[in-house]
C-alpha cells in the first residue's frame, strides 16, 4: 500500500501521515511507503517503512507526473490556496485549486491505474441562494472563488470516478479548530487563533461577534475521517462521491466556554474583540446549518464535544513552554 499525500507539509497532511504510520495499514493492506509532497519540502515523519518527501507544484503537470506514479495506490489531495488568499489572488486560486486538481486527475487518467483519490473540499461551497439546511443535496452557490474552485473540483472527482479514471471521494471539511501552528491566509484563521494563542498564553484578536455561528471539527477527528474516507468502498458511496464531513455548529461563545471549561478562566481574558469588516464580509457569507447525513451513515464522525477539541490541542499540539 503506497500512499501519496499532496499537501503533505500542511497541518492536516502531517497529522494524517503520523496517523497512517501509527496504524500501519490502509484498506486492509500494510503500508509500504508514504510520499509527502508539497510546494515546499515537507518535514518527514518517522516510520518503520519508507517515507519520501518531495517538492510538487500541482499547477505543473510535469511536477505532478513525478509524484503520482504507476504504483501509487491512494492519493490524498489536500493542497490548496486558502480562502482569503484565493479571493485576493484570483489567478493563484485558479492555478492551484482548479487546474492543480485537474492536473492530478489527468495524471491518474493517463496512468490508467484508477487510484483511490481523497479530495478535500470545503463548506465554503455553500452560500448565496442555497437553502438551509445544507448538506449533500444542496446546490453549491459559493460566495468566494475558493468555494467555486472546490465545487468545480468536486464535479471533477465525480466525473473522473464515474468514468473509472479514479476511485474518488470528496469530503467537504468543516473549519478545522483548534488548528496548531501560525495563522494562515484563510479567512477562518481566527477560528483557531482565538483559542490557540490564548492557550499558549498569548493575545489574539476576534474579528467577529460572540454569537457568530460556524461548523467545526478537530484536526484529530478530521484525520480519522480522512482515513475512514479512503477505506470506504466506492460502491457503498454511490453516484455522488462528494459528501459533507461531519462537524458541529457552534457559536464563538461556545468555543470560548469550552476553552474555559478545560483550561480555566485565564485564556479567555487574552481575547481582544476587534471587528474586521474584510474578514466579516467573507465569513458572513459562510453557512453553519450543515448536516452530514451520508458521511454519518458511512461511519464518519463529528467530535463528541468542543471540550475534546481543546483537549486534543493541549495533548497533540501545544508547544512546550
- Applying CB under 8 A, what is the total number of residues that bind a copy of itself? 28
* Contact call for residue 122 and a copy of itself (CB under 8 A): no
Cα end-to-end distance, the chain, whole Å: 38
- Work out which of 36, 148, 199, 256 binds a copy of itself, going by CB under 8 A: 148
CA–CA separation, 60 vs 131, rounded Å? 37
Binding region for a copy of itself (CB under 8 A) out of 24-32, 56-64, 129-137, 217-225: 129-137
C-alpha distances out from residue 73 to 29, 31, 67, 131, 259, Å: 11, 10, 12, 38, 40
Yes or no: say if 187 and 282 are a contact pair by the CB < 8 Å rule.
yes
Interface pattern 150-169 for a copy of itself (x via CB under 8 A): -xx--xx-xx--xx------
Cell triple for 78: 489536500
* Contact call for residue 113 and a copy of itself (CB under 8 A): no
Interface pattern 2-41 for a copy of itself (x via CB under 8 A): ----------------------------------------
Minimum CB separation of residue 195 from a copy of itself in Å reads: 31
Minimum CB separation of residue 156 from a copy of itself in Å reads: 7
Minimum CB separation of residue 100 from a copy of itself in Å reads: 14
- Work out which of 145, 188, 244, 248 binds a copy of itself, going by CB under 8 A: 145
Interface pattern 246-285 for a copy of itself (x via CB under 8 A): ----------------------------------------
Give the phi and the psi of residue 266 in degrees, each rounded to 5: -65, -45
What's CA 22's distance to the chain center, in Å?
20
Cell triple for 185: 491566509
* Contact call for residue 293 and a copy of itself (CB under 8 A): no
Q: Which residue from 220, 198, 318 is spatially nearest to 270, judged by alpha carbons? A: 198
Minimum CB separation of residue 86 from a copy of itself in Å reads: 10
Nearer to a copy of itself, 152 or 310 (CB): 152
Nearer to a copy of itself, 29 or 131 (CB): 131
* Contact call for residue 305 and a copy of itself (CB under 8 A): no
* Contact call for residue 130 and a copy of itself (CB under 8 A): yes
Yes or no: say if 237 and 295 are a contact pair by the CB < 8 Å rule.
no
DSSP string computed for 248-298: EEEEHHHHHHHHHHHH-STGGGGEEE---HHHHHHHTTS---B--HHHHHT
- Work out which of 32, 71, 128, 202 binds a copy of itself, going by CB under 8 A: 128
Yes or no: say if 1 and 25 are a contact pair by the CB < 8 Å rule.
yes
Q: Which residue from 91, 103, 72 is spatially nearest to 5, judged by alpha carbons? A: 72
Q: Tell me the catalytic residues.
A: 146
Q: Which of residues 232-251 bind a copy of itself (CB under 8 A)?
A: 238-240
Cell triple for 283: 465569513
Q: Indicate if the alpha-carbon torsion angle 167, 144, 37, 29 is positive or negative.
A: negative
Give the SS3 label for residue 26.
Answer: strand
* Contact call for residue 182 and a copy of itself (CB under 8 A): no
* C-alpha atoms less than 13 angstroms from C-alpha of 259 in its C-beta half-sphere: 27
Nearer to a copy of itself, 112 or 319 (CB): 112
Nearer to a copy of itself, 240 or 260 (CB): 240
Which residues contact a copy of itself by CB under 8 A? 90, 109, 127-131, 136-143, 145, 148, 151-152, 155-156, 158-159, 162-163, 238-240
Amino acid at each position: 500500500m503506497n500512499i501519496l499525500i499532496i499537501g503533505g507539509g500542511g497541518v492536516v497532511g502531517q497529522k494524517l501521515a503520523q496517523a497512517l504510520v501509527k496504524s500501519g495499514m490502509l484498506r486492509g493492506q500494510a503500508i509500504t511507503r508514504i510520499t509527502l509532497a508539497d510546494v515546499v519540502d515537507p518535514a518527514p515523519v518517522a516510520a518503520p517503512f519508507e517515507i519520501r518527501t518531495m517538492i510538487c507544484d500541482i499547477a505543473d503537470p510535469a511536477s505532478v507526473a513525478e509524484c503520482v506514479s504507476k504504483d501509487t495506490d491512494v492519493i490524498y489531495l489536500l493542497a490548496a490556496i486558502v480562502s482569503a488568499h484565493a479571493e485576493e489572488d484570483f489567478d493563484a486560486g485558479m492555478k492551484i485549486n482548479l487546474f492543480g486538481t485537474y492536473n492530478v486527475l489527468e495524471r491518474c487518467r493517463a496512468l490508467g491505474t484508477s487510484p483511490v483519490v481523497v479530495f478535500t473540499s470545503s463548506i465554503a461551497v455553500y452560500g448565496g441562494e442555497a437553502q438551509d439546511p445544507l448538506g449533500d443535496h444542496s446546490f453549491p452557490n459559493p460566495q468566494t472563488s475558493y468555494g467555486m474552485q472546490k465545487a468545480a473540483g468536486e464535479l471533477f472527482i465525480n466525473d473522473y470516478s464515474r468514468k473509472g479514471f479514479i476511485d474518488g471521494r470528496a469530503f467537504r471539511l468543516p473549519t478545522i479548530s483548534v488548528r496548531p501552528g501560525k495563522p494562515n491566509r484563510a479567512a477562518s484563521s481566527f477560528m483557531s487563533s482565538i483559542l490557540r494563542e490564548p492557550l499558549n498564553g498569548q493575545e489574539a484578536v476576534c474579528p467577529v461577534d460572540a454569537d457568530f455561528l460556524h461548523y467545526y471539527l478537530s484536526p484529530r477527528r478530521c484525520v480519522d475521517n480522512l482515513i475512514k474516507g479512503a477505506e470506504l468502498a466506492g460502491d457503498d458511496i454511490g453516484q455522488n462521491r462528494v459528501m459533507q464531513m461531519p462537524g458541529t455548529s457552534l457559536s464563538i461563545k461556545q468555543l470560548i466556554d469550552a476553552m474555559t471549561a478545560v483550561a480555566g478562566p485565564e485564556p479567555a481574558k487574552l481575547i481582544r474583540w476587534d471587528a474586521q469588516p474584510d474578514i466579516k464580509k467573507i465569513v458572513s457569507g459562510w453557512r453553519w446549518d450543515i448536516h452530514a447525513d451520508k458521511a454519518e451513515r458511512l461511519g464518519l464522525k463529528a467530535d463528541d464535544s468542543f471540550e475534546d477539541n481543546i483537549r486534543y490541542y493541549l495533548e497533540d499540539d501545544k508547544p512546550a513552554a
